[in-house]
Amino acid sequence: MNNRAIHLPHDDQDCGWYAALPEPAPAKRLNGQQQVDYAVIGAGFAGLAAARQLAVHQPEARIVLIDAQRVGYGASGRNSGFVIDLPHKMALEHPDPEHKQRLLGLNRAAIAQLQGLVEHHQIDCQWSHAGKYQGAVGPRGLAYLEHFERLMKELGEPFRSVEREELAGVIGTHHYSRAVYTPGCYLMQPAALVRGLAETLPPNVELLEHSPIKGLQRDAQGQWLLQGVDGQVRTPRLLLGTSIFTQEFGYLRSRLLPVMTFASWTRPLTDAEMQATGILPDWGLTPADHAGTTVRMTQDRRLMIRNTYKHVPRYGKSVSDSTRQEIRSGHRRALLARYPHLAHVDFTHTWGGVYAISRNFTNFFGELDDGVYATACDNGVGAAWGTISGTLLADRVVGAHSQRLQDIHAVTGMPSRNPPEPLLGLGVRSRIRLAAWNSRSEL
């Protein structure tokens, strides 16, 4: 199988999470000819979990985990730092209660797995069982919040309504009318977490960074050949933890939508600024209206604003410097609407991260080709889903059966086919603009 040119990640150089970390050790790169038992492409949450689980099952096997960038530099290190137990809003509306319970169980298994690894390896990543607020500003947000409460009651999950004054005592602003607090969410520093997971991989996993795979084909013996810049990997079994980039290897083409969302954060606030604002550290608030604004206060006291979505068919190359500056200005307006007394506090970083969604909101999990397996399309909930789907993909490959594996097969399927360009781009951009306009009161 020969592919067209593979388009590689093209992330900006301004991710605050990554910049806050110490300089990593020099990368080990793919060099020469290598024969391995398993190759995993993509060292994000899914790829890291898959490689680790393969090594647990087969400690004598030779496993390589390959990434085009440094660990933590790509999408898994660019999210807002939530590990959410609850199914996504669209999944919460699924008519089958068992479907929702399966998703809930999978997400919580991922959280338990990550917590165990963080504690066992003492990974310094601001890991915190902080729960999560879902906030509403005006009537539109409050209507979404009431709908969320109904869905939570149907699911039988605990939640608590938090009125304006109580909420302001935590987040330091009266901007929100009300919020719903759910206790099962964890917060973390994503780039630090994935780097820590990479540094504690089992000894039979070889991590190769800055090693883009430029071609993929099958040889006459049925082995897969992964062609790098300065080397080649030959393997009978290939696992793809490549999210949106799965289509670059010839799979799930015209079924995945590349979307980028953006965040900005401040320097750490001083003691005086924290006290004057009345803000507490270490919390996260997502919008009741999904197109609204996410706000985080990190453990090291940085305020983060995340909103704005873009369709990015060329990944990071789709976003110009001027567009990024416009987004930063929008983040600034959102910050000042909530914290006008912090007008003297500038943003230090603004970054984007690309992820995959599907038109039918379906995740792919399973075998794509003879000896090629993938988990793809996290639909915006990547930390928990990537962790559990990567783990279970390794189970699937080695033939280890479990109830969790049955559960993930039951809730996944084939992402629906997209319309052709230019109709696809026009449609996606129009929907994003409409959502932003309708949700302007919640931004």
Segments making up each domain of the chain, as ranges = 16-77+192-256+361-422
Residue 249 CA to residue 39 CA, distance in Å, equals 14
Residue type, 141: G
**Eight-class DSSP state of 401:** -
What per-residue confidence (pLDDT) applies to 70? 98
What per-residue confidence (pLDDT) applies to 171? 98
Hey, CA dihedral for 220, 221, 224, 227, is it positive or negative?
negative
3-state secondary structure of 78: coil
What per-residue confidence (pLDDT) applies to 430? 87
pTM: 0.96
Residue type, 202: P
**Eight-class DSSP state of 379:** T
The arrangement of strands across the sheet holding 372-376 comes to: 205-208, 63-66, 38-41, 238-240, 372-376, 364-369
CA-to-CA separations, 437 to 6, 99, 274, 329, 417, in angstroms, rounded? 35, 32, 32, 17, 27
Does residue 190 have a cis peptide bond before it, meaning omega lies within 30 degrees of 0? no
Domain covering 16-77+192-256+361-422 assigned CATH 3.50.50.60 in the classification: yes
What per-residue confidence (pLDDT) applies to 2? 47
3-state secondary structure of 335: helix
Beta carbons of 377 and 256 less than 8 angstroms apart: yes
Q: What is the pLDDT along the chain (443 residues), one digit of tens a residue?
A: 445 678 999 999 999 999 999 999 999 999 999 999 999 999 999 999 999 999 999 999 999 999 999 999 999 999 999 999 998 878 899 999 999 999 999 999 999 999 999 999 999 999 999 999 999 999 999 999 999 999 999 999 999 999 999 999 999 999 999 999 999 999 999 999 999 999 999 999 999 999 999 999 999 999 999 999 999 999 999 999 999 999 999 999 999 999 999 999 999 999 999 999 999 999 999 999 988 999 999 999 999 999 999 999 999 999 999 999 999 999 999 999 999 999 999 999 999 999 999 999 999 999 999 999 999 987 667 899 999 999 999 999 999 999 999 999 999 999 999 988 878 888 888 888 878 888 888 88
What per-residue confidence (pLDDT) applies to 334? 97
- Name the helix (H) or strand (E) containing 405: helix 403-411
Residues 6 or more apart in contact with residue 195 via CB below 8 angstroms: 21, 24, 71, 72, 77
Residue 217 CA to residue 423 CA, distance in Å, equals 31
- Name the helix (H) or strand (E) containing 362: none
Q: Which of 70, 76, 84, 81 is nearest to 353 (CA)?
A: 76
Residue 402 CA to residue 405 CA, distance in Å, equals 5
